């Protein structure tokens, strides 16, 4: 069985001390790839990877792949970031083309969509026959656009979204979402699973990004809530650390309700006027509750900007005769006609 190659583009220098990693159990000798024909159309047993981009994430991915015995070729715009990886056993490539042609699987871990396209478009010919996996955070439509560009050039493209921080890569806490070419996923799967749990979302290349964006939206809104709580409690001298601990405890206690909210949203009854109050708050109740939060913030001299959009949706539901509907109907308000 020929050796495969994996290229990682982009190696950063912000790795936190890592917890025990799945990678660490599987140390094998490093391989130093040179130009070779990519492994195609079957499961690769030990592919060479190119990593394009050695920021914090690209560096963590490269280290994990190296630790699991994969030959790695790295390229980074700022070449100095390749040096520690070269010392650790990766091959440093001077150009993107050099990295790509040394690999079976090319992992792109750059800053954004623009930097991905800037560096991939000139090497379309070199990418042919290799498995291209873009782990850079992009929007769903940007992922679809890159997939369309790849298809135009006859390339095998998989889009990915990393649900992990760099220190989590290779640990059981790490999860990566993938969408796009199913055969590319199957081919590279063993390698991808060294980075974390691999979760294929479907042939539409935008699906991994869409779920990533949805989960990150919930995360940022949660952090916004923490910031609001800290600002309110600081008015009476509470430390942010104390408030963060309190918020964590409270969120942990109410987290089980998420499942019920989801189940209710999938039922038609929540959006009707005959909502059962025993199942949860109605719109009128939630308006009073959120209104009190806004008033309390203002009384303490704290802005309520993060809460006001939610209040506007509740007001609109009430104004259109849905005051007795379950307040989770806010989710149904969000699609833009
Ligand atoms: N770090 C994290 O926790 C998150 C977790 C979820 C996924 N994200 C995404 O991963 C991509 C890379 O993120 P990163 O943490 O590695 O980011 P940085 O440490 O800032 O490194 C950025 C790399 O991108 C290179 N780069 C930036 N602009 C360009 C460009 N125009 N051309 C070529 N390369 C570019 C940069 O190179 P350099 O500054 O060292 O020369 C780094 O290699 C990202 O999509 C996250 O959203 C990480």
DSSP code per residue over 1-49: -PPPBEEEE-B-S-PPPPPP-GGGGG--------S-PPP-SS--SS-BE
Q: Mind listing the pLDDT tens digit for each residue in 239-261?
A: 999 999 999 999 999 999 899 89
Quick: pLDDT tens for 204-220.
999 999 999 999 999 99
CA distance 282 to 337: 24
> Which pLDDT score, from 0 to 100, does residue 21 have?
57
CA of 82 to the centre of ligand 1 (A): 14
Q: What is the mean pLDDT of the chain?
A: 89
pTM (predicted TM-score): 0.87
Judge if the beta carbon of residue 26 lies within 6 A of ligand 1.
Answer: no
Residue 51 in this model has a pLDDT that exceeds 80: yes
Q: Could you tell me the pLDDT band of residue 41, with boundaries at 50, 70 and 90?
A: very low
pLDDT at 46: 84
Give the integer Cα–Cα distance in Å for 266 and 244. Answer: 32
The secondary structure of residue 54, as a DSSP letter, is B
The residues, any chain, with a CB within 8 Å of residue 156's CB and separated by 6 or more, are 129, 130, 131, 132, 150, 181, 183, 184, 187
Q: In which band, very low, low, confident or very high, does the pLDDT at 113 lie, cut at 50, 70 and 90?
A: very high
Mutation test residue for ligand 1: of 7, 12, 223, the one with most atoms within 8 Å of CB: 12
The token duo for 123 is: 């090497």
Query: Which residue's CA lies nearest to atom 6 of ligand 1?
Result: 162
**Residues in a beta bridge with 131:** 105, 156
Q: What is the mean pLDDT of residues 277-297?
A: 91
State which of 53, 134, 160 you would mutate to test the pocket of ligand 1, scoring each by most atoms of that ligand within 8 A of its C-beta. Answer: 53
Say yes or no to pLDDT of 153 above 60.
Answer: yes
Is the pLDDT at 30 greater than 50, yes or no? no
């Amino acid at each position: 069985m020929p050796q495969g190659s994996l290229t990682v583009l982009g190696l950063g220098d912000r790795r936190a001390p890592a917890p025990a990693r799945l990678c660490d159990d599987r140390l094998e000798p490093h391989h130093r790839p040179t130009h070779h024909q990519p492994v195609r159309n079957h499961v690769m047993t030990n592919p060479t990877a190119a990593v394009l981009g050695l920021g914090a994430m690209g560096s963590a991915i490269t280290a994990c792949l190296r630790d699991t015995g994969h030959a790695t070729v790295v390229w980074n715009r700022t070449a100095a970031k390749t040096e520690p990886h070269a010392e650790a056993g990766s091959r440093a490539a001077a150009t993107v083309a050099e990295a790509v042609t040394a690999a079976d699987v090319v992992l792109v871990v750059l800053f954004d969509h623009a930097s991905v396209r800037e560096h991939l478009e000139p090497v379309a010919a070199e990418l042919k026959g290799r498995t291209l996996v873009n782990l850079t955070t992009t929007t769903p439509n940007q992922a679809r656009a890159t997939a369309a560009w790849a298809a135009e050039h006859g390339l095998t493209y998989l889009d990915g979204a990393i649900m992990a921080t760099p220190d989590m890569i290779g640990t059981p806490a790490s999860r990566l979402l993938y969408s796009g070419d199913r055969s590319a996923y199957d081919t590279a799967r063993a390698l991808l699973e060294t980075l974390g749990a691999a979760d294929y979302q479907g042939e539409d290349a935008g699906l991994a990004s869409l779920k990533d964006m949805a989960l990150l939206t919930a995360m940022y809104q949660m952090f916004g809530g923490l910031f609001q709580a800290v600002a309110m409690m600081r008015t009476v001298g509470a430390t942010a650390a104390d408030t963060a601990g309190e918020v964590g405890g409270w969120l942990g206690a109410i987290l089980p309700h998420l499942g019920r909210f989801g189940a209710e949203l999938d039922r038609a009854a929540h959006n009707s006027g005959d909502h059962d109050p025993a199942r949860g708050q109605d719109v009128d109740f939630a308006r009073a509750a959120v209104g009190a939060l806004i008033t309390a913030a203002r009384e303490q001299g704290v802005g309520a900007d993060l809460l006001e959009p939610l209040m506007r949706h509740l007001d609109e539901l009430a104004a259109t005769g849905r005051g007795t509907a379950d307040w989770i109907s806010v989710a149904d308000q969000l699609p833009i006609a």
